[in-house]
Amino acid sequence: MKIFIDSGMLEEIREAASWGIVDGVTTNPSLVMKSGVPFRSLLEEIVKIVDGPISAEVVSTKADGMIQEAEGFAKIHRNIVIKIPLIVEGLKAIRTLAAKGIKTNCTLCFSAPQALLAAKAGATYISPFVGRLDDISTDGMQLIRDIRLIYDNYKIPTQILTASARSPMHFLDAAKIGSDVITAPFGVLKQLAHHPLTDLGLAKFLADWEKAKK
């Protein structure tokens, strides 16, 4: 399973990339706002750090506007993937962009039928938001199971990108289900590497080593 970092902070992206576990980056308008860096400049820096898919989200709500934004982003670097919202106008844009060879990440997916439509339109990735479903007392990971089953039934090439992951358990479940990709904030990525028994074991080994030197 590929791991993307969901961030617009260059420091976080550099640090996570240095661990050797980051395959790509996802951004959105909210993350860009927090970064304080102009969007195009931010993308130009990110592609220097991570050699993998970099999602850049459009803000237009009409297909023509989405396509225009997408074509501009795509010129920045070959790794740029265009994030398109899962609305009817977005499906139109995805179809056109797919025909032009521009990769897309269909975002804000909350149902399996939506995911099927995105795949039919030609989306490269589908981004089901599991955390937001959990927030409304719905099993977000069940959506990943449903999409995996449907895509496998029909040998659909669109990759499932589990989004809005908020805990190590989301990672575990996504990997067991067979999600192609998962994206999560820097804080959640740090949690994955930590375990209290690892910390205790390391502390004991170091303490024993100090005793052995004496």
Active site residues per annotation: 83
Tell me: the pLDDT tens digits for 132-183?
999 999 999 999 999 999 999 999 999 999 999 999 999 999 999 999 999 9
**Cα–Cα dist 39/22, whole Å:** 21
Tell me: the pLDDT tens digits for 99-141?
999 999 999 999 999 999 999 999 999 999 999 999 999 999 9
pLDDT recorded at residue 211: 85
pLDDT recorded at residue 212: 87
Would you state the CATH architecture of domain 2-213? Answer: Alpha-Beta Barrel (3.20)
Query: How much is the pTM?
Result: 0.96
With a pLDDT cut of 90, the percent of the chain lying above it is: 97
